[in-house]
Structures are given as C-alpha cells and as structure tokens.
Structure 1
Amino acid sequence: MEHRQSAASALLARIEHYWLMPVACLVVWWSMLIAMLAVWAGQGRPKYVYEGEDAAVPYISDIAASAGMQVLFITGDAVQGLFFILTLWAERYLRHNGRLEYHFRQRENTISAMAIAFGMIGQLGLVLVAVCRVDRYKAAHYYSVGVFVAGVGLAAACSSVEFTWLRQSYPEVRWLRRSYKLKLVWFTIAFVLATVFLFNTFTNNADVGASVEWILAFWYGAFIIILAVDLYPAAKAVDRFDDKDGRLDCVEAVPEKARPRGYPFREPTLSYNLDGSTCFDICE
C-alpha cells in the first residue's frame, strides 16, 4: 500500500501542465454556451414560454429545457464542474509539494479547503440546475441557480483571501498581488451582474434578465482563466524533483527569491513526500 502511494505521489509530481485542467474547463463551458446559442439561432430564434414570458432573449434554462438540449446541458455542466473541482484541488496540491508558494500558516490551509468545499457545492448546484428543468421543477431550478452562484462566488472570495495572505509571506512574487486583485474585481463585477439578473428576473423584465444571465455565464469563464494563470508557474518547477522517487527537500522546494521573511522557520531534518502531508512539520 505504501509503495502504491509513493508511486502515485511520484506520478502526480511528474505531471507538468496542471494549468491545462482549467483550460479544459473553460473550453467545455464556453463551447456549451456557444452551442446552445447556435442551436437557438439555427431554429429561427423561437420564443419560449417556460418562464411565463414571451421574451425576445431566452434564458439559458429556456434553451436547456427545449427538445434535445438537456443532455448537452447536463453533460457540459458535469464535465466542466469536474475540471473546476480538480483545478482547485491541483492548486492546493501544488502548494503542498512546493511547485507553488507554500501554505506556511494554518489560516491559508483552511481558506484553501473552504474554497474547494464552496466550489464543490457550487458545481453540485449547477448540475442540479441542469437536471431540474425549469418547465417541470421551477422552484428547485431557481434554488439550484442560487446554490451555484453562491458557491462559486464564495470559492472566488476564499481564493482572493488566500492570495492576499500568501502575498504577505511572498512580497517578491508579483503575480500573487495581481491574482487576488483580479479575483476581487471579478467577484465585484459578478456580484453586480448577479444582482441585476435577479432583480430583472423577479420583476418580470425578462429580456434584460436573460441578457445579463448570458453575460454572467461567460464572465464565469474569466475566473477560470485566472485559475489557469495561477497554476501555470508550477509547470516550470517540475524539474526540481528527484527523478528516482519523487522526493523533494522542503526548503529547496521554494525558490530563493520567493521565500518569505525568516524562511525556513526552523531547521529541516528530513525530506518529505510530494503529497505534502508532512510539510507542516517544519513550516509554522
């Protein structure tokens, strides 16, 4: 069992391009949205009445509830959701094994776990959005939309806080500051769009509500792009690992320019496996 775990850890350590996971997530998500718009346009831009409205611009859920589109909606949501969760997991994993800046404090470790948890909840909500068709399960559909928006929004907020704290430990790493600022901007714009969407939807201003929903859906992709850039530096760090057993000295894992003040906090005595499970034995 230990041999298998060591082999798995070494294999994960040798994977170079983790940043391709959010790219795949983005491609699936935007491709699904574009395909839905193309089908709607190809059908002559029909007007749906699932929402009790005769609007010119359909909601995403209106198209998804039309004939033959639910399978595409469910599949696209599930696949991009899987890549999204794997992206959040990869960011945490790469910090624990030294290919990205370490989580030296428990608060950073905790906020990272919270981001993953909220991301999972949000993606579960999105799958339920696809499963609960608006023409059959209207209330459940709306609740699921709320779970998705809240889950992803909170995941983005937690990620922004995480990078704010990492920036305090690594003032020389410029991308950390840029990343949390970009995420803060993304979150602010997403919050405004979500508010406008909800207001217009529940005040029966369907055209504006539907238009903002499409904008918000594509804006979600901008957050995925930021996550891809977050993971990209790990591709340049893969050559720091031992080719034989995938082990890395916890101190040497962090480039000299990226080490926080006072690092290492106490002298290391061992090398640690790449799964990062014992890294905190020397990092306070």
Structure 2
Amino acid sequence: MWGLTTFVPVFSAFVWLAMLITMLAVWSSEGSPHYSSMDPKQTIAYISDIGAQGLKPLFIAMSTVTVVTFDIAFILERWLRHTGRLTPNTSIWQKIYSGLSIVAAIVGAAGLILLSIFDALRHNRLHNIFLGVFIAGYIVSAIFICWEYQRLGIHFREHSVLRYSFWIKLSFILIEVALAIAFGVTQKTDRYNVAAVLEWVIAFVFFFYVLSFFIDFMPAASSKHHYSNESKMNMATSEPNGDAAHDGARYFRGAAATEAGTANGYTNGNVNGNGMHPGYPAPNANMTKPTEPVPASRNF
C-alpha cells in the first residue's frame, strides 16, 4: 500500500507536464496565432494566453488535478513521518515547519486554480494577482520543507536521501526566485516575449520540483518496519527547543560505560550487586584466587 504513495508526486508532475506539452503543441499546430489577450508586439504566447482560449477547460482541469494531488503528497509525507514510515521528526519545530509548508502549498494551489478560472483575457488583474499567489505559495512552502529537511539531516546523517532532497528543494527556491524576479522585471519593461519564455521556464522547473518528491517517499516504500518507540524516545534533546542531535550511545546495551559512568564489561549489560558478572564471587582484599571446594567423593 505505502509503495503506491511514491507515485502520487509522479502522477501530479506528469499531469502538469502533459498539460504544458499539450498547450504548446496546440498553439504550434494552429500556426502560433496571435490571441486577443496578447500585446500587439508579442509573438510568443503566455501559458495563460493559450489557457484563456479553447483550451480553458483543459487548463482548469489539469491545473486542479496537479495541485490537489501534489498537496495530497505533502499531507501523506507528514502522516508517514508521524507514523514512523519515514524518519520521524525530532522536535516540535520540525513539525511546525512541516505544517507551515502544507498551509503554504494549499495557498499556492488555490492561486493556480483561481488563475486558471479568472483568465488573462477577461480578468487580467485578478489573473496576475493569483499568479503571484501561486508562485509565492509554493516558494514559501519549499522554504519551510527545506528547513525541516535540513534539521532532519542533522539528526539522521546516515539517510542520504534527506541531504539530496534538501539540496534539490534549495535549488528550486533559488532558481524560481531568480526567474520570478526576472519575469516581473520584463513584464514591467514591456518585454513580453522574454517574459513569456520565462513563464514557460518557471512552469517546467515546477515540474521537476514536484517530481523530486518521489525520492522523499522511497524510504517508505522500501521500509518493512516502523521506527521503534524506543528510538523515538531516545531522540530527547538537550537544547531548549528540542532540536539537538540525539545520543547514539544509548542504543547499544554493550557500551563501554553506562550513563552513570560505570563500566559493566559485558555486552549483555547484566551485572550483580558487586559489579561482577553473575556466577563469579567478589574478589578478596588480596586479589588472590579463592579456595575452591573439594568435590565430594564418588566412592560409595
């Protein structure tokens, strides 16, 4: 069952990709027409220009499916981490970051759905507002989930998937912020063809971001056991915010020293009251070998 969750972000990503390719193909097959929502000097159509014409039902439907399934992936990730199918959170702050990333993703999803409904031809001002909400929502969401993964990576250094996912999401933030700024500048300076190209690039980068969540779900698909309650309890930390690395020595019964600072010398951790392994008498003051009892005679 949990293996199927891996394909939720994959499904979401490829629905988005299929929509973009379909819109480009239709516009090209029609001879790259100049739509009424385009500027007179503009020759490259925005996604929203194509989506405001005959492909508006496709634009609304596939945009909605994309962001709804993508937000489901966020919620599933939170649930799998809560139940131990993914590396569990080690502090309340990590859970807060995760929750904020979900809220921001929902806001971004609402922005995309609304911009597809309020198209650039009939509701240009609202369309641009919701476009900003869509981009900002998912950038903020990526920031919080990136923050969560950075903290998880400190505690679980052996899980390289956390490190890879962190860098992928950080790259998405940096690239999309740079592209969004460039898009806004070219819009303001009436360089509409450049702005249109940047909008398509932003959309394709978003495809790779959604697809990157596939690697986040891989440990849940491959794991057979939950993290034990003992492991979760041993994640108690010494920092005030509960976000420090845990003490790995607690997980081994045969450690050289117990938390009280006394060695037991045996891997099974069992000692008797005098600190020696059961079955051996305490040494005498001169540390001489004790006299062994004479065995009873077998002659009857």
Between Structure 1 and Structure 2, whose CA radius of gyration is higher?
A: 2
Superposition TM-score, scaled by structure 1 size: 0.80
Please give the residue correspondences for 1:182-197 in structure 2 after superposition, counting only pairs within 5 Å: 182-197=168-183
**How far apart are the structure 2 equivalents of 1:199 and 1:86?**
33
Residue 51 of structure 2 is aligned with which of 52, 55, 64? Answer: 64
Higher helix share: 1
Aligned-pair distance for 1:196? 0.9
**How far apart are the structure 2 equivalents of 1:159 and 1:94?**
15
**How far apart are the structure 2 equivalents of 1:264 and 1:34?**
53
Gap regions ≥5 residues in structure 2? 234-244, 252-300
Residue 171 of structure 1 is aligned with which of 142, 148, 157? Answer: 157
Partner of 2:211: 225
**In the alignment, is residue 240 of structure 1 matched against residue 225 of structure 2?**
yes
**How far apart are the structure 2 equivalents of 1:207 and 1:229?**
35
Gap regions ≥5 residues in structure 1? 1-13, 242-247, 255-259, 267-284
Deviations 1:11-43 (A, max 9, x none): xxx432211000000110000000000110111
Would you say the 8 A contact 1:47–1:54 is kept in 2? Answer: no
**How far apart are the structure 2 equivalents of 1:18 and 1:190?**
26
What SS class does the counterpart of residue 142 from structure 1 fall into? helix
Residue 86 of structure 1 is aligned with which of 51, 72, 78? Answer: 72
Please give the residue correspondences for 1:87-236 in structure 2 after superposition, counting only pairs within 5 Å: 87-236=73-222
**How far apart are the structure 2 equivalents of 1:89 and 1:250?**
22
**In the alignment, is residue 262 of structure 1 matched against residue 244 of structure 2?**
no
Aligned-pair distance for 1:252? 6.6
Seen in structure 2, the aligned counterparts of structure 1 residues 207 and 224 have a Cα distance that, compared at 3 Å, is same
Partner of 2:30: 43
Aligned-pair distance for 1:249? 4.5
**Could you tell me the percent identity over the aligned residues?**
30
What SS class does the counterpart of residue 229 from structure 2 fall into? coil
Letter aligned with residue 152 of structure 1: Y
Residue 250 of structure 1 is aligned with which of 224, 229, 237? Answer: 229
Would you say the 8 A contact 1:251–1:264 is kept in 2? Answer: no
Deviates more, 1:44-53 or 1:90-99: 44-53
Using CA pairs under 8 Å that are at least 6 residues apart, name the structure with larger relative contact order, 1 or 2: 1
Superposition TM-score, scaled by structure 2 size: 0.76
Runs of 4+ in structure 1 off by over 2 angstroms are 14-17, 51-54, 248-254, 260-266
Would you say the 8 A contact 1:98–1:250 is kept in 2? Answer: no
Please give the residue correspondences for 1:20-31 in structure 2 after superposition, counting only pairs within 5 Å: 20-31=7-18
Aligned-pair distance for 1:178? 1.9
**How far apart are the structure 1 equivalents of 2:45 and 2:147?**
36
Letter aligned with residue 46 of structure 2: Y
Partner of 2:60: 74
